[in-house]
Amino acid sequence: MFPRIVFMGSPGFAVPSLQALASHYPPVGVVTQPDQPAGRGRILTPPPVKILAEELGIPVIQPKRLREPGAMEQLADWQPDLIVVAAFGQILRPDVLGLPSLGCINVHASLLPRWRGAAPIQAAILHGDQQTGITIMKMDAGVDTGPILSQRNINIQPDDTAGILAERLAETGAQLLIDTLPGYLNGAIRPQAQEDAQATYAPMLSKLDGLLDFTQAAQVLKRKVHAFNPWPGAFTYINAEIFKIHRASALEAGLKNFSAEEIGRRTRWNGMPAIVCGDARLLILDLVQPAGKKAVAGKVYLQGARNWDELR
């Protein structure tokens, strides 16, 4: 007999977990975030999890907050034995955590206790981690503090952006979820407490986090560009307009000695736009997006920006 499972998730990261769950333990219901305006036309757009749930014929609710009476009534009516969470976007209150007899488990995109919090994928790239992974954990009232059921490592590649890494982690998380559930449901897997002394925290990001400070080292800025792709996006200002940088690389050798006065100066390197950084190295701009235009390769942009070295 299948357990009665409710799935909670919203963005693309959660879609593989819902798809895998539906193939092995069909959920009785899905909870996701409300539709949100998106794109230049600000068209009301459903979260990816809602789209998949409707394709699968699974009932969906979209409360702004789980404390809404209608949301709690529907959860109770579904009578879940277990709630599975993947990037839901809301903190679960004690009354939700205590509702299913088997508790709530979460598909978290880091190797806990490293990178608890809202932005673990970005934090791993930003801090130069060589590995990250997925943790399946039993949720408690804290933020990603609950005991661990299982973990699986993956390597972070040098050119990984947060978007690319999230896709790999989403697939890894879906597979680990399905691999973990049988042992958890039959009691063979016992939750293991996290080592709180080893915990690090990945706070929620804001749009302004993407503003690059060229007094920092080139390698630090390269990691920022990739960590913040696709959101919040790395950028600087040119002629008081936002200039987005989607991909970059740090040139570590073969440079002349730049002076402190040249930090932030725009220059060229092998036909590519570059900016002098605080460690006297260059940040090479591999993929850029000027204000009001589409993203283009740095070399292509430079062909039409002959005054690149003179821009302010």
pLDDT digits (tens, 9 = 90+) for 176-223: 999 999 999 999 999 999 999 999 999 999 999 999 999 999 999 999
Q: How far apart are CA 180 and CA 149, in angstroms?
A: 7
What are 61-69's contacts with CB under 8 Å, separation 24+? 61/29, 61/30, 61/31, 61/32, 62/31, 62/32, 62/33, 62/34, 62/35, 63/31, 63/34, 64/34, 65/90, 66/31, 66/90, 66/92, 66/93, 66/96, 67/93
Find how far residue 221's CA is from the centre of its chain.
18
In this prediction the pTM is 0.94
Confidence category of residue 52, pLDDT binned at 50, 70, 90: very high
Instruction: Give the neighbor-by-neighbor strand order of the sheet with 131-138.
Output: 60-61, 29-31, 5-9, 82-86, 104-108, 131-138, 148-155
**N- to C-terminal Cα distance for the chain?**
67
Confidence category of residue 254, pLDDT binned at 50, 70, 90: low
Average pLDDT of the chain to the nearest whole number? 94
Q: Which amino acid is at 66?
A: L
Task: Write the pLDDT tens digit of every residue in 113-168.
Answer: 999 999 999 999 999 999 999 999 999 999 999 999 999 999 999 999 999 999 99
Please identify which residue in the block is written with the tokens 């972070």.
156
In the predicted structure, residue 309 carries a pLDDT above the cut 90: no
- pLDDT value of residue 150: 98
In the predicted structure, residue 175 carries a pLDDT above the cut 60: yes
Burial class of 303 by CB neighbour count within 10 A (0 to 12, 13 to 18, 19+): exposed
Confidence category of residue 253, pLDDT binned at 50, 70, 90: low
Confidence category of residue 288, pLDDT binned at 50, 70, 90: very high
Task: Write the pLDDT tens digit of every residue in 238-252.
Answer: 989 999 999 999 987
Structure tokens at 115: 């990178």
Work out the average pLDDT over 266-279: 93
Q: How far apart are CA 190 and CA 70, in angstroms?
A: 34
- pLDDT value of residue 106: 98
Give the whole-number percent of the chain exceeding pLDDT 70: 97
In the predicted structure, residue 305 carries a pLDDT above the cut 90: no
Q: How far apart are CA 278 and CA 140, in angstroms?
A: 43
Domains belonging to the chain, first-starting first, are: 5-202 (3.40.50.170), 207-310 (3.10.25.10)
Rg (CA), the chain: 22
Beta bridge partners of 61: 31
Confidence category of residue 43, pLDDT binned at 50, 70, 90: confident
Q: How far apart are CA 125 and CA 222, in angstroms?
A: 10
